[in-house]
Structure 1
Amino acid sequence: MNRTERLAEIKKVVEESGRIEVNDLSDMFHVSEVTIRKDLSLLEDRQCIRRIHGAALPTGEISDAEPIREDSLGMHIEYDRRKEEIGKIAASLVTDSGWVFIGQGTTCYYIARELAKLEEVNVLTNNLLAAQALAKNKQANVIVTGGNLVHSHLYVAGEMFMRNLDKVYISKAFMGVGGADLSAGYTVNYSTELIVYQTIKAIADQLIIVLDSSKFNRTTFLSLGSLTFSDVIISDKGIPASYREFYETNGVKVLN
């Protein structure tokens, strides 16, 4: 694939995903992050995409958005109205004193922000951004799992993560995915994510997948399972009709 072809494909991926990280584009196109940044810079000059810290958005995607910065962790998170709504729906499901798991990713970070508003909440998480958001509530009971740090996305995983969850039980788990496709099912970007999913699914009474509508019709690297992997999902109003029909036919509850 030459550069002209790659630029066209990057533009298409950004438009379809709504937001995509530089490191994900690097993995997808098998080029360095330096090369991807140069490509994004050129596409931005052509007004084809909009660059933010570490990621790209379609033009105009966040023109009316407020930026959110978690300064102490050095991570810049652009405001996303869809993820905020998902966070509010997820928090509304936490109605008892049972333990809740929040997985990695920015959608789960938004869930943590909403849970931090509750008077009483018990949270287990491998997401450092989520832990920081929850730390603002001095009444929140928060446990960070421990494990090997994935620097690019600020979560922990690996063998220690699995060992630390031995004999742990949780009532609800909220976890994001890299993509959702009618044929490929749910996919994730990294093997570390796959291990987290498998570990949590075994100890959670209910696993709820959270994903905004940009993740539909998108396939990433590793298969997590079919779209019936979880019997409840939380998304926004932009879910494609074909997916709504699939979920309804297969008994998967959609909250949006």
Structure 2
Amino acid sequence: MDAKKTDRIKLIQQALQDQKAIHLREMASLLEVSEMTLRRDLMRHPDQLRLLGGYITRARDDLEPGDYRVSEQDTRHVEEKRRIGKLAASFIQPGDTVFFDCGTTIPFVVDFLPDDLEFTAVCNSLNVLLKLQLKPRCNIVLCGGTFHRKNQVFESHAEASILDGVRLSWAFVSAAGVSLDFGVTCFNFHEVEVKKKVIRQAQQRLLLADHSKFDAVRTAHFGALSDFHYVVSDKKIPRAYREAIEAGGAQLVI
């Protein structure tokens, strides 16, 4: 291996000393090489580094039980998430103001938005921000604050005042668990305040969740199925939830 490749690997390892994951695109930009070059570098060091859903992580950086990390979740149920993203993106019209929640399904919504669509996006997560900044006619409002690396979310008490001043046409909300008995949940308590606020304020609310999220209960509760006007999922959603969504007056989009 030449010196430049060795240096790149060392620089990646240094970058991962104080964070759990870094996006391939971001690292390639920092190293001033193509993403393909960086992929080839990583393939030569599977015992040290790995690539998961576009994020570079240490090979032995395992999850603790019950933990959540965007770099791990990004590789699960990708086809379902992509289809959900495409369905959800069709709701957004020129001039809309849209809240994009955190998680690994939401970025797929942004992928399917036309580059010439003019809209305003409000977000509080890094992985969504990186997608939105690629849309040339998107005006971005970022809720800043303390950055949580595991789920790529910015948290701040100032978020409340930022959201208070924004009128949302749509809220695209993600969930890690949806239960008929225990409501809609996520892994992290620091996501709850923002989720609850956008549910209260948005004119139209969409819950985005693939079939694996149903009949699951996570730590932090933030809402109920009845809080949403639309539930965007895939065809494997359990029958009981199809019936509950319809009975509650919401529209199931699959």
Which among 61, 69, 72 is matched to residue 54 of structure 2? 69
- Taking the aligned partners of 1:137 and 1:96, their CA distance within structure 2 comes to 13
- Matched to 1:113, the amino acid is D
Match of 1:223 in 2: 221
Match of 2:80 in 1: 82
- The residue matched to 1:78 in structure 2 has which SS? coil
Shift in Å, 1:101: 0.7
Do the aligned partners of 1:90 and 1:111 also contact (CA within 8 Å) in 2? yes
- The residue matched to 2:54 in structure 1 has which SS? strand
Of the structure 1 ranges 201-210 and 232-241, higher mean CA displacement relative to structure 2 is found in 201-210
Which among 157, 161, 167 is matched to residue 163 of structure 1? 161
User: Any residues of structure 2 matched to 1:1-256 within 5 Å, and which?
Assistant: 68-69=53-54, 75=71, 77-78=74-75, 80-115=78-113, 117-256=115-254
**Which structure: larger Rg?**
2
Task: Give deviations 1:207-253, integer Å, cap 9, x for gaps.
Answer: 21110000011001122233212121111111101111111122121
What count of residue pairs does the alignment treat as equivalent? 192
Q: TM-score w.r.t. structure 1 length?
A: 0.68
Give unpaired runs (5+ residues) of structure 2. Answer: 1-19, 21-48, 57-69
Do the aligned partners of 1:116 and 1:140 also contact (CA within 8 Å) in 2? no
Give unpaired runs (5+ residues) of structure 1. Answer: 1-21, 23-51, 55-66
- The residue matched to 2:240 in structure 1 has which SS? helix
Task: Give deviations 1:84-129, integer Å, cap 9, x for gaps.
Answer: 1111111100023121110110011211222364532321111211
- The residue matched to 2:170 in structure 1 has which SS? strand
Do the aligned partners of 2:115 and 2:136 also contact (CA within 8 Å) in 1? no
Do the aligned partners of 1:231 and 1:252 also contact (CA within 8 Å) in 2? yes
- Taking the aligned partners of 1:147 and 1:199, their CA distance within structure 2 comes to 17
Match of 1:47 in 2: none
- Taking the aligned partners of 2:116 and 2:209, their CA distance within structure 1 comes to 22
Do the aligned partners of 1:148 and 1:160 also contact (CA within 8 Å) in 2? no
- The residue matched to 1:228 in structure 2 has which SS? helix
Coordinate RMSD, CA, aligned: 2.5
Shift in Å, 1:178: 1.4
- The residue matched to 1:149 in structure 2 has which SS? strand
Task: Give deviations 1:18-44, integer Å, cap 9, x for gaps.
Answer: xxxx9xxxxxxxxxxxxxxxxxxxxxx
- Matched to 1:69, the amino acid is G
- The residue matched to 2:171 in structure 1 has which SS? strand
Q: TM-score w.r.t. structure 2 length?
A: 0.69
